[in-house]
Amino acid sequence: MADRYLSFTGTAPGRFLTRRLGLPQPTALHRWSAEHPSFTGELLHLSAGKSPLDGPDGLAAVLARTGLAVRARSERPVAVVLDATGVTDIDTLAEVHAALHPVVRSVARSGRVIVLGAPLDTADHHQAAVQQALEGFVRSLGKEIGRGITVTLLRLTDANAAESTLRFLLSPKSAYVSGQVIGIGGAEVTAPADWALPLAGRTALVTGAARGIGEAVAATLARDGARVVCLDVPGAAVELESVAGRLGGTALALDITAPDAGARILAALPSDGLDVLVHNAGITRDRRLVNMAAERWSPVLDVNLASVLRTTDALLSAGGLRTGGRIVATASIAGLAGNAGQTNYAASKAGVAGLVRALAPTAAAEHGITVNAVAPGFIETKMTAAVPLFIREAGRRMNSLGQGGLPVDVAETTAWLAHPASGGVNGQVVRVCGQSLLGA
Ligand code: NAI
């Protein structure tokens, strides 16, 4: 269902009326399109403290490769990158304020503010305190900056390992990711031959691909060059065939809860196996716990969590995922924050986050495979169109960007996690929620 309020505030009379009434003013976000695949304009590069990322092959070189014009001063930057990895005490923390205070007002609409921080694993409690302080700073700035601008904190030690992440965040692909703290390890990364086709020659399987977010994920991975295997229930076979056909992929009509689902997936894969596994299929059966019969509990846990565990195990133990592979599961902000009427759904989605945290280090150590999750907030799909009007309208507006996300926002985030150069991003649960007030 279209967001009529967002369309209305995009017109001159709509803007006038809603301003006069003091109503929210969401900004139409700049998203990726083939005609406008990247931002154009200036990137303002600032720093606080003495950065360990400086150096000939350091952060400046990576930023220069994003295609934006990197400047130390800018009247109207489309993005600001503040390197705060050198913030170690209260005085250097004050440099964060001093650097951003004069420029926040000048950032372009639908632009980006990215703060770079150091990992929190220091024994120096002064440094730990001021590095943790950056989280409160970033989340607060995300809530107040407005005009469709997103604010993100990246914790890193190696700018090259963060290149795919910086390119994602400094592009229209990350329009609905805000208020997030993302950690990047110092993995060895190899740049793809073509940054526009990073998944060329790779195979991706997407569950629940017949519609909604899964369809968008399959389309986005195919855009990035992947051969896609689209999986959905036999009841959705017609839609599934149509999606797979349009993307030049293959359709696999299969209920993911079938006990032999893992074996049937393995049989359907090309002989060289899979590079990207996206667990997207999901269902809801909402009721308050007091009214929730086992018939509403079990299927939700089975589709959203048990089948994710089973198919992951089946593929890993049979070597179905190649070295350097990527697993991206779908959590939800309901799983992180809790939601009345969704004890079953939130349990299943919190379980996904637990799976990611535990499996990520071992999968990386044993198979070179990363395991991450996306946690969508309010996304405009058939699932949310079925939500009663008042709750739907609240879901849309209760986030820093004042609007719901689109399936493509989750898909772009998935594609970044699936990127061959994203090997340093592991064990993360990244919310795609416009910085929802739920569980913020
Ligand atoms: P949707 O209901 O539009 O699509 C889900 C797809 O999964 C459907 O095509 C369905 O047939 C398929 N599916 C369901 N059970 C299956 C099974 N047993 N085997 C194979 N396929 C199965 O849902 P939507 O909105 O696209 O959601 C996709 C994922 O994102 C789900 O995991 C959902 O929980 C999650 N999510 C969605 C949010 C939203 O706002 N739409 C918010 C947070 C999370």
Q: CATH number for the domain including 217?
A: 3.40.50.720
87 Cβ contact partners less than 8 Å away, ≥ 6 residues apart: 48, 49, 93, 95, 96, 117, 118, 127, 130, 131, 134
Among candidate residues 345, 360, 375, 417, the one labeled active-site is: 345
**Does 437 reside within a domain?**
no
Domain membership of residue 213 as a residue range: 203-432
For residue 376, the ligand 1 atom closest to its alpha carbon is 43
pLDDT given for residue 390 in this prediction:
84
Q: Are residues 154 and 228 in the same domain?
A: no
- Out of 177, 205, 211, 213, mutate this one to test ligand 1's pocket (max ligand atoms within 8 Å of CB): namely 213
Atom of ligand 1 nearest to the CA of 239: 9
- How many A from CA of 146 to the centre of ligand 1? 30
Ligand 1 in reach of 426 Cβ (< 6 A): no
Is 14 among the domain residues? no
Tracing tokens 């609905």 back to the chain, one arrives at 176
Ligand 1 nearest-atom number relative to CA 349:
34
Residue 241 and residue 247: Cα distance in Å, rounded? 10
CA of 232 to the centre of ligand 1 (A): 10
Are residues 61 and 99 both part of a single domain?
yes
Pair (266, 399) in one structural domain: yes
- Angle, alpha carbons 186-192-197 (nearest 5°): 130
- Answer whether residue 26 is part of any domain: no
Number of structural domains in the chain: 2
Residue 4 is assigned to a structural domain of this protein: no
Ligand 1 within 6 A of CB of 138: no
| 221 and 158 fall within a common domain | no
Spatial distance between the Cα atoms of 219 and 217, rounded to a whole number of angstroms: 5
Q: Report angle CA 37, 43, 48 to the nearest 5 degrees.
A: 140
Which residue from 141, 144, 191 is spatially nearest to 163, judged by alpha carbons? 191
The verdict on 277 and 424 lying in the same domain is: yes
- Contacts of residue 175, Cβ cutoff 8 Å, sequence gap at least 6: 29, 30, 31, 110, 148, 150, 409
How far apart CA 163 and CA 67 sit, in angstroms, is 12
The pTM is what? 0.96
pLDDT in tens, the chain (440 residues): 677 778 777 777 777 766 766 677 788 999 999 999 999 999 999 999 999 998 777 999 999 999 999 999 999 999 999 999 999 999 999 999 999 999 999 999 999 999 999 999 999 999 999 999 999 999 999 999 999 999 999 999 999 999 999 999 999 999 999 999 999 998 788 899 999 999 999 999 999 999 999 999 999 999 999 999 999 999 999 999 999 999 999 999 999 999 999 999 999 999 889 999 999 999 999 999 999 999 999 999 999 999 999 999 999 999 999 999 999 999 999 999 999 999 999 999 999 999 999 999 999 999 999 999 999 999 999 878 888 888 888 889 999 999 999 999 999 999 999 999 999 999 999 999 999 988 65
Which of 135, 150, 183 is the last residue before a domain boundary?
183
Same domain for 153 and 221, yes or no, is no
CA-nearest of 427, 422, 430 to 166 is 422
Q: 7 in a domain, yes or no?
A: no
Residues 179 and 220 in one domain: no
The shares of helix, strand and coil residues in the chain, as percent rounded to the nearest 5, are: 40, 20, 40
Residue 154 domain-assigned (yes or no): yes
* Residue 345 annotated as catalytic: yes
Pair (148, 66) in one structural domain: yes
CA of 284 from ligand 1 middle (Å) equals 8
pLDDT at 56: 74
Domain end (from 183, 215, 232): 183
Say whether both 125 and 164 belong to one domain: yes
- Comparing C-alpha atoms, which of 212, 242, 127 is closest to residue 409? 212
CB 208 near ligand 1, within 6 Å = yes
Tell me: do 214 and 148 sit in the same domain: no
Any domain includes 16: no
Position 393 scores a pLDDT of 87
- Predicted local confidence at residue 1, as pLDDT: 60
Name the domain boundary from 119, 151, 183: 183
196 domain residue, yes or no: no
Distance from the alpha carbon of residue 311 to the mean position of ligand 1, in angstroms: 17
Residues 162 and 189: their CA atoms lie apart, in Å, by 9
**215 and 253, same structural domain?**
yes
The conformation of residue 236, written as its DSSP 8-state character, comes to: G
Per-residue model confidence (pLDDT) at position 439: 67
pLDDT at 440: 53
- Tell me if 330 CB under 6 Å of ligand 1: yes
Question: Contact at 8 Å (CB) between 307 and 351?
Answer: no
Residues 395, 324 within the same domain? yes
